[in-house]
């Protein structure tokens, strides 16, 4: 987990510590997981996120300038694809439990890569909708499988810590991809460059599929779990519906989804509010986004510590609710002050928003790992993820109409929802926190 300040590696304890880029590189490597499998999977996550982030930065240009779609067509197509992804996530999660997370994730990456390679040949809305749905059908299923694989790559460490490393890798990749995409758009604004965004993403998916074949992950039927799986298959429909019969588990998923609103807030509601309702300098939006990324990369692993204890995971989500409520109050206040103070408040508001993100993710990982049986882990994780998935699809519309358009009442109301949701999570866990089995 890194070395303590002042300690050096090697036989000569008095040797000078490396400086500059060398020191940063060594420090980053020291913080990586110790097992080879975990390190390879961190690389998988980085490559996957880099390709995805690179494409997203130029996707609007590709859709409008290459395919020739209107903004309404792009929005409608992606919304339909997103809804299809919600419907397919849980069945794909069950398939992963049956055939193995590794083979399933490899197949999904190949599917995504092949689908993106079709995009450059699309020239009308109908074909765009078909390809978007092919991609969207598997998009929402990837997250729970990644979480399940991350848990499988730990040897004696915490699966929550493993997910923290994955989150750091993905955030770093998104930031790097955004910078590179900005350079490409600036110096090579052409149809070929926009097609390059799509091809690069496809190649990243294919590269991760190749890397996944190098992972040694548990297969279904390995060890003593085979009898449990056989027993569970024999129970049929009742077993498949078991998580849906647990109202507390579903409410915890919903609570996690509410707290997950920080994602569309950062990408949609916050910038929209700053631009349309405040006097803050527009450039401060970009600075706030950079602050969010830097804080997330620097603090994610630290904030995830102890998340494998479900009681602490519940407290982390309670803290997330409080932080996001504070963000809402600060954001509402930006509209009532002059440009200089509004800019300062914009940057200040980014701090509790990021803290809420870190606590929400760490708490959600801990809770979902604890209540997902090993033999059905991806299935349970997929169901738990439904709350966040629904927010990802509906959040931008809900936030823009129910919060931004209503001004102060909208933000104060959202803050109250965050605070109450955070308080509800430890209550919903209740005795389950004490009775929960160790995370696996």
What pLDDT, in 10s, does the model give residues 361-386?
999 999 999 888 888 889 999 999 99
CB 120 within 8 A of CB 65: no
Which pLDDT value is given to residue 304?
Answer: 92
Fold that domain 30-220 belongs to in CATH: Growth Hormone; Chain: A; (1.20.1250)
Q: Let me know how many helices (H) and strands (E) the chain has, helices first.
A: 19, 0
CA triple 75-79-84, angle to 5 deg? 155
CATH 1.20.1250.20 residue ranges for the chain: 30-220, 234-435
Among candidates 54, 408, 377, 31, which has minimal Cα distance to 207? 54
Which pLDDT value is given to residue 232?
Answer: 43
Which pLDDT value is given to residue 224?
Answer: 43
Which pLDDT value is given to residue 16?
Answer: 44
Which pLDDT value is given to residue 166?
Answer: 93
- In this prediction the pTM is 0.83
Q: Which residues of the chain have pLDDT under 50?
A: 1-18, 21, 24-25, 223-235, 438-440
Residue 16 DSSP symbol: P
Is CATH 3.60.20.10 the right assignment for the domain spanning 234-435? no
Q: Tell me the C-alpha distance between 124 and 226, whole Å.
A: 49
Which pLDDT value is given to residue 128?
Answer: 95
Distances (CA, A) of 254 to 85, 211, 245, 257: 18, 34, 15, 5
Give the length of the chain. 440
Which pLDDT value is given to residue 15?
Answer: 39
Which pLDDT value is given to residue 1?
Answer: 39
């Amino acid at each position: 987990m890194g070395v303590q300040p002042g300690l050096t590696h090697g036989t000569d304890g008095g040797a000078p510590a490396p400086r500059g880029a060398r020191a940063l590189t060594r420090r980053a490597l020291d913080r990586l997981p110790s097992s080879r499998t975990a390190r390879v999977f961190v690389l998988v996550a980085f490559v996957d996120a880099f390709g995805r982030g690179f494409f997203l930065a130029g996707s609007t240009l590709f859709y409008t300038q290459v395919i020739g779609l209107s903004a309404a067509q792009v929005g409608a197509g992606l919304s339909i694809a997103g809804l299809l992804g919600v419907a397919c996530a849980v069945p794909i999660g069950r398939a992963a439990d049956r055939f193995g997370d590794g083979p399933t994730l490899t197949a999904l990456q190949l599917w995504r890569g092949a689908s993106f390679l079709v995009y450059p040949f699309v020239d009308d809305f109908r074909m765009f909708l078909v390809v978007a749905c092919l991609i969207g059908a598997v998009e929402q299923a990837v997250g729970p499988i990644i979480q399940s694989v991350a848990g499988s790559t730990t040897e004696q460490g915490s699966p929550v810590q493993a997910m923290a490393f994955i989150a750091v890798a993905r955030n770093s990749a998104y930031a790097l991809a955004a910078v590179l995409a900005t350079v490409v758009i600036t110096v090579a604004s052409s149809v070929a460059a926009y097609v390059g965004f799509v091809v690069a993403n496809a190649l990243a998916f294919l590269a991760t599929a190749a890397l996944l074949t190098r992972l040694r992950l548990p297969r279904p039927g390995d060890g003593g779990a085979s009898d449990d799986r056989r027993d569970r298959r024999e129970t049929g429909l009742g077993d498949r519906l078991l998580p849906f019969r647990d109202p507390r588990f579903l409410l915890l998923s919903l609570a996690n989804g509410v707290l997950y609103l920080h994602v569309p807030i950062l990408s949609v509601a916050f910038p929209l509010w700053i631009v349309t309702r405040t006097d803050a300098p527009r450039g401060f939006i970009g600075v706030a986004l950079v602050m969010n990324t830097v804080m997330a990369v620097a603090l994610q692993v630290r904030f995830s510590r102890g998340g494998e204890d479900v009681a602490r995971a519940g407290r982390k989500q309670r803290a997330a609710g409080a932080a996001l409520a504070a963000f809402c109050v600060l954001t509402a206040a930006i509209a009532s002050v002059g440009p200089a103070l509004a800019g300062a408040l914009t940057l200040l508001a980014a701090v509790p928003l990021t803290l809420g993100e870190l606590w929400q993710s760490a708490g959600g990982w801990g809770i979902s790992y604890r209540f997902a049986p090993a033999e059905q882990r991806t299935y349970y994780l997929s169901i738990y993820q439904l709350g966040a998935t629904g927010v990802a699809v509906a959040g931008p519309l809900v936030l823009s109409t129910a919060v931004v358009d209503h001004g102060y009442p909208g933000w104060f109301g959202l803050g109250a929802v965050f605070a109450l949701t955070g308080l509800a999570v430890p209550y919903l866990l209740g005795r389950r926190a004490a009775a929960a089995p160790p995370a696996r």
